[in-house]
Amino acid sequence: MLVLNNKETPVSHERIRTQFPFAKFFADVPRGYENLFGDPSEANVEYAIRKAKGCFRHLVEMFTELEECRFLELLKMPKDRSEYLLTKQAKIVAMTCTYAALKRSDFLDVNFKYDTVVFEEAAQILEIESFIPMALQRAKDIDGHARLKRVVMIGDHNQLPPVVKNQTFSKFCHMDQSCFARLVRSGVPNIVLDAQGRTRKQISKLYSWRYKKLDDLPHVSTEERFRLANAGMAKVAQFIDCSSFAPESCPQPHYFQNVQEAEYLCSLYQWMRLCGYPAQSISILTTYRGQKHLLRDVFKARCDSHPLFGPPASISTVDKYQGQQNDIVLLSLVRTKHVGHLRDVRRLVVSLSRARLGVYVFGAKKIFENVDELKPALKTLMNDTKLDVIKGEVYGHISRKVEDAVSNDVKKSFKDSDEFATFIDSCALEYKKAALEHLKNQQQQ
């Protein structure tokens, strides 16, 4: 063994270089082993000692890593390896409450331990489900001390509650109340965000009334993307009236569909694509599962395989989209006879708070304008319910501000889906002709 601090035998550069015991292992270093400890002609002993100690540290770290991986040789079964990683190596373990309930006995068998539980979207978790993740380990250690030290719940009780399909349990037993909401209602001290920086001021006003105090961060007023208007659209938030359309259909219980509304919404998506909006910046939302499937069929027929349009970022129900966001949201309310479950204002809050730059709501004005629960949010959207678009503007190349007035000369209004669909077809033909002309000019050059 090479001794670097032997007082009897002086340490020299040559001795370090010739007696280093792992010369073969470090023989392929970039500069070569001869130069590993510095230039031999300079014979810098201190530099050589530092390099030798550095090599030893590298070896120690390597064997430490090998020791940590040794279980891969001893544990042959994937289940055994996963249990070892879970109990010995993992610092953070993520799972759903349902999975925690299914695997609780397995966690107890492998002596799974943790001291902190963090709930994400806690306001949408059933109260009884909230207690399952807290019981995945034995209540006390060998020394008798409780291991669980803290529980952190993150959520918004002003948005959707847990889903309970049985109306008796939901309404009369209050099983749709989460543990998070119960603690807030009971006055347990909590931290509430008092400023948002995700969406335009014009959109945040649609749902900020549901909160005690929700202001906008400064960058919402200063950043260019929030100050500029949406290309091709006269407004950044609008309710588009579909009262004149045929009523919704219901082929099976709670499976509502509105064909004309779906076609109208698809035409607006096509218009935005013609204006240059990326497909991934547009999300399609609806309040019913039946309408979601109808929208997917309409988009598949009109957009998915079309070279000018393509599919949007997502087509989903409002309930499934909670926690997500996008630049533009097109929302279909579907119902034309009764308000339905949108009367729960929490569902409307989720619907209107998903968009960053623009939200466009399709629905029957005569049904929704008289709902007291929804008036604070929808009254500003219903000032003008005709769809207004602006020709000639291109996404990413617009200087018009949100507050700028739009001249009637450049604005075009539509009353129904058929008229707007015809307009979209003519614009698509113009775009195709312009593209072919541009390609022809390039070939001539």
More confident residue, 31 or 424: 424
Q: How far apart are CA 37 and CA 268, in angstroms?
A: 70
Residues 6+ away with beta carbon under 8 Å from 288: 254, 255, 256, 257, 317, 334, 340
For residue 210, the 8-state DSSP code is G
Q: Say what the alpha-carbon torsion angle 160, 165, 166, 170 is, to the nearest 10 degrees.
A: 0
Residues 6+ away with beta carbon under 8 Å from 192: 211, 212, 213
183-207 average pLDDT score = 92
Confirm if 181 and 188 have CB atoms less than 8 A apart: no
Residue 5 has pLDDT above 60, yes or no: no
- Across all residues in the chain, what is the average pLDDT? 86
Q: How far is CA 365 from CA 69, 253, 334, 401, 444, in A?
A: 64, 24, 11, 28, 53
Burial 79-108 (b: 16+ CB within 10 A, else e): eeeebbeeeeeeeeeeeebeebbeebeebe
Arch. (CATH architecture) of 78-185: 3-Layer(aba) Sandwich (3.40)
- Give the relative orientation of helices 289-299 and 259-274 as an angle to the nearest 10 degrees: 50
Per-residue pLDDT tens over the stretch 73-103 = 667 778 777 777 787 778 899 999 989 989 8
Per-residue pLDDT tens over the stretch 333-359 = 999 988 988 888 999 999 999 999 999
Angle at 100 between CA 94 and CA 101, to 5 degrees: 165
Q: Does 195-436 carry CATH code 3.40.50.1370?
A: no
pLDDT band at 40 (very low <50, low <70, confident <90, very high): low
pLDDT of amino acid 4: 53
Unique residue bearing structure tokens 């960053």: 356
Domain chopping of the chain, boundaries: 13-69, 78-185, 195-436
309-318 average pLDDT score = 95
Identical fold at 78-185 and 195-436? yes
Per-residue pLDDT tens over the stretch 409-425 = 788 888 888 889 999 98
Residue 228 has pLDDT above 90, yes or no: yes
Residue 9 has pLDDT above 60, yes or no: no
Residue 1 has pLDDT above 60, yes or no: no
